[in-house]
Amino acid sequence: MTKIALGTILLACCPLFLLAQFTISGIVSNAKKHPLSGVNISIKDSYDGATTKADGSFTFTTSVSGDVILTAGLMGYQTLEMQINTNAAQQLNIVLKNAVNALRVVTISAGSFEASDDKKGTVLKPLDIATTAGAGADIVNAIKTLPGAQQTNDREGLFVRGGTGYETQTLIDGMLVRNPFFSSLPDVPGRGRFSPFLFKGTTFSSGGYSAQYGQGLSSALILESTDLPQRSSSSVGLSVIGASGGLEQLSKNKKSSYGIEADYTNLAPYFKVLKPKQTVSLGPEIIGTSANFRIKTSSTGMLKFYGYANWSKMGFDNNSIEYPGYTESFKLYNNNVYTNLTYKESLGNNWHLYIGASFSANNDDIRADTISKNLIPTTIKVHSELSQGRLMFYKNIGRFSVIRMGTEYQNAVERSAFNTYNANYTDNYNAGFLEGDIYFTPFLVGRIGGRTEHSSIIDKWNVAPRVSLAYKLNNFSQFSVAYGDYYQKPEPQYIRYDRGLDYMKATHYIVSYQRVASDYTFRTELFYKKYTDLVKTVPSYNNNGSGYAQGIELFWRDRKTIRNADYWISYSFLDTKRDYLNYPFRVQPDFAAKHTASLVYKHFVEKIKTNLGVTYSFASGRPYYNPNLPVDKFMSEKTMTYNALSLSGSYLTSIRKAFTILVVSVSNAMGNKQVFGYHYSTDGLRRSEIVPNVGRFIYLGMFMNFGIDRRQDVINNL
Amino acid sequence: MKHTFLVLFLMGSLAVSAQSSRYTEAMAKQTADLDSSSTFNPENLQQKSNTFERIAEAEKTQWLPYYYAAYMQIMQAFTSKDKSQIDPLTEKATINLDKAEALISKNSEIACLRSLIASAKLTVDPMNRGPVYGPEAAAQLVTAKTLNPENPRVYMLEGQALLFTPEQWGGSKTKAKTTLELALTKFAAFKPESDISPKWGEAYTRGLLQNASK
């Protein structure tokens, strides 16, 4: 009985298993009617389907009868679903649309150069900064090879598009760094205080930057610190000028880490061998320490701390031009501390929170004397403290748009003493900003926003609107424009003596075009910048200064043409004039050169595992002040052109279990004479050249990184 | 009444077995030639990854088709002449592996493929990506070995890494040879869980060993 019943039912079911076969065929193309191969055609929830051939055609049979969903999918295209009826004879014509993913979307690019690992299409990687010959692993020195930055190597700071070093602000995780450079002596620029390896992203904005940041008339250097390290490690460095050591510990659950680092630099032995131009009387000696921790507070939350403290001292003796036969002595003691604590968390519903707090302090103690002339020695003490807080909310709207709003507070204490004369002040600064990156289409974005600021010492509010637009022409090219107002407080040395000063102002106009492919990058930018309310020191302190800067910049980077080589070329043409400080009228200022160019070339020699680097920088002569000329010839004379060729080689190897890099570098390898300007005696009869302290600097160093399992060093070359 | 229930029950199990035999047959057909070098041309790999994806999406509860789809996509990444294809292909493979891992957690074979993904991503920009993806590739192999010390593909990949890494960076032909020989003994002893479970790599290991013995 059971058998019969089963048999009957099986028989009845048979048609279900012996279905008719239907043939489905067609052709797939893209919007431009080019056939697409490799497209996965399938009938949803069945195995049936096919892959399109080179001519875009496909054909397959299916046993599913009736209405079905047919899907067509290919990487880089939007998957298409369509309803078809398998019973009807099918010759399908399928057109796939390009997928709109983050890679293809336009981004705001006017005025900014980004170095980042996690974003695609960036111009530089963090490692590029560290491996640029002549930069000595200094972020700012590497950025000087990019268009817009000047080769102003006799004073510290980044001089951008006719702006002074003061007009560039440095920010770490959104928080201002008041003293990013080591304090230095006259004519000797100080290096940056932090290592490029601390940052996963660096954005150099040569103008038109976001309303999130303020108080920089020209430029912003925006640094983003690294997240949790990949593993625990320790490192040791040894060089001709000092030693360093560090430790980075990642917790077992990989949710938190801490790191400490210390370095000691002493140039005295080096200067005994290679005599500098000035006679060394103290140091130069630097002790640096830094500490950080990072805690992943939730799947989206991150708490980060970074802080450093430095102590430095240095002193030089010079032949006095004021008093021939006498020696001028200059000594500087500096200590500096910077701390930065930030917290990021997602609040849900696409809202995000960002909070930051920072405290920094800087102390300069300068002693100047004309030895045995019996003039009263000069003591200058400058102390500054900056406490700041930042709160920002941002919300993602749709797939790509975002709006940001935030507020900043800074309390700055500025104290200075010139011998027994004191001039101190405190400034309370408040700012608020609102900004939206609005995607009208995936190929057209507008960043529209504004910032308002109030400084208690100036006792005025300002409002700075900022707008940029970017339009993507195709997968590689885009076109951008930017406009913005930028305000900045006058430098402390002027506010200190005159509380009636107002904000200085700059207005930026930028047009830019870029083409970024995987192996090359081309960029060009045209800009015009208008300065108003610059500080003048004559007849008395006032805000009557003004000026302009305009120019064109080019950048080309190529990673393909020469095997194992990567090079970039940048060129900046700058036309700028300003009337500020004690200038009698508008002239090209002494820190600006008309033509600046750099070539950075890196070559990896596989056979000897060595990276070779060459950097050549050029700048046309800069104006200098000759007091012997009549007033109408002010700044009419120019220095010689600037040429510097730097070489570097780094050999990568492993010693025992440590990943080791041996570095040799020579800055100004050809020993080109470099003159940045002249100092004149008060009577104008004698002058001395402003030249680099050492003509050619040779550096030898070794860096070792321990604690890495050898297996983990492996690079698989499949 | 009783009988009707029995019949319905039998029918149900019959349908299930028909379903799974269709699955095994399709998978067996697709996995049969994975050790043949003729499989490894771009067109074939694309076709196979598409087929595996179709099976995966129709089944939804089987991890193997996702696994093989990812494997094919990784091989596409390695054989592609266009470096810009490596990231999208490996990202696609990662999505498939995530789906596989949702169905079977802590699997040595999946860890092996993740190691390969890291290696493929590294080749896009060795200078900048080396410090991230080099250790990632190695860490995945460590995981794979912990999950199943008898998996021959772990030793095959280890040997391959040793073979192709410059000596300054810890590579070594002699060590590669020992590891690859170990891989072959593991292959000999390896019993795949089923006819369609991962078993590829022996022929490739022999090729590597020849290279290492030169």
Residue A12 lies in a domain: no
pLDDT at A279: 84
Give A269's contacts (C-beta < 8 A, 6+ positions apart).
none
pLDDT at A2: 46
B47, closest residue in chain A (CA to CA): A51
Contact: B127, A230; criterion CB under 8 Å: no
- Low-confidence residues of chain A: pLDDT under 50: 1-4, 6-18, 121, 708-718
pLDDT at A709: 41
Whole-angstrom distance, CA of residue A666 vs CA of residue A668: 6
Same domain, residue pair A80 and A177: no
Give B48's contacts (C-beta < 8 A, 6+ positions apart).
B30, B39, B68, B72
What ranges in chain B are assigned the alpha helix state H?
Answer: 2-31, 42-59, 63-79, 86-103, 108-122, 126-147, 152-164, 173-189, 202-213
Whole-angstrom distance, CA of residue A73 vs CA of residue A80: 6
A8, closest residue in chain B (CA to CA): B7
pLDDT at A466: 95
Whether pLDDT at B80 is above 80: yes
Residues of A in contact with B11 (CB under 8 A): 9, 13
Say whether A610 sits in a helix, a strand or coil.
Answer: strand
Give A664's contacts (C-beta < 8 A, 6+ positions apart).
A648, A649, A650, A698, A699, A700, A701
**For testing the chain A interface, which of B9, B54, B83, B124 should be mutated: the one with the most A CBs within 10 Å?**
B54
* DSSP string covering A343-400: EEEEEETTEEEEEEEEEEEEEEEEEEEEETTTPPPEEEEEEEEEEEEEEEEEEEETTT
Q: In which domain, by residue range, is A382 found?
A: 112-713
Same domain, residue pair A73 and A128: no
Same domain, residue pair A246 and A195: yes
pLDDT at A89: 67
Residue A555 lies in a domain: yes
Where does residue A16 rank: exposed (0-12), middle (13-18), buried (19+ CB within 10 A)? exposed
* pLDDT tens per residue, range A82-122: 888 888 767 888 998 887 665 566 777 766 776 655 555 45
Residue A7 lies in a domain: no
Of B11, B165, B171, the CB nearest to A9: B11
With an 8 Å Cβ cutoff, is A18 touching chain B?
Answer: no
Contact: A654, B170; criterion CB under 8 Å: yes
Of B3, B55, B122, the CB nearest to A715: B122
B131, closest residue in chain A (CA to CA): A713
Same domain, residue pair A82 and A131: no
pLDDT at B50: 92
Whole-angstrom distance, CA of residue B161 vs CA of residue B163: 5
Same domain, residue pair A365 and A506: yes
A716, closest residue in chain B (CA to CA): B161
Of B46, B125, B138, the CB nearest to A712: B138
Residue at which a domain ends, from A62, A96, A130: A96
Same domain, residue pair A76 and A211: no
pLDDT at A72: 92
Element at A438 (helix H, strand E): strand A421-441
Q: Is the pTM of this model over 0.95?
A: no
* pLDDT tens per residue, range B96-138: 999 999 999 889 999 999 999 999 998 887 777 777 788 888 8
β-pair partners for A460: A455
Whole-angstrom distance, CA of residue A711 vs CA of residue A571: 44
Same domain, residue pair A532 and A620: yes
pLDDT at A717: 29
Taking one residue from A and the other from B, the number of pairs with CB-CB distance under 8 angstroms is: 128
Say whether A272 sits in a helix, a strand or coil.
Answer: helix
Contact: A6, B10; criterion CB under 8 Å: yes
pLDDT at B42: 84
Contact: A518, B57; criterion CB under 8 Å: no
Same domain, residue pair A121 and A89: no
Same domain, residue pair A521 and A435: yes
Contact: A518, B138; criterion CB under 8 Å: no
pLDDT at A91: 84
Residue at which a domain ends, from A45, A61, A96: A96
Residue A496 lies in a domain: yes
Contact: B54, A48; criterion CB under 8 Å: yes
Residues of B in contact with A40 (CB under 8 A): 50, 53-54
Same domain, residue pair A349 and A427: yes
Residue A674 lies in a domain: yes
What is the CATH classification number for the domain harbouring A75?
2.60.40.1120
Predicted-complex ipTM score: 0.84
How many residues does the structure list for chain A? Answer: 718
Residue A102 lies in a domain: no
Residue A558 lies in a domain: yes
Same domain, residue pair A88 and A116: no
Give A610's contacts (C-beta < 8 A, 6+ positions apart).
A604, A649, A650, A651, A652
What is the CATH classification number for the domain harbouring A285?
2.40.170.20
Of B14, B88, B169, the CB nearest to A75: B88
pLDDT at A8: 47
> Cα distance from A38 to chain B (closest Cα, Å)?
6
Residue A3 lies in a domain: no
Count of domains forming chain A:
2
Residue at which a domain ends, from A41, A64, A96: A96
Same domain, residue pair A127 and A48: no
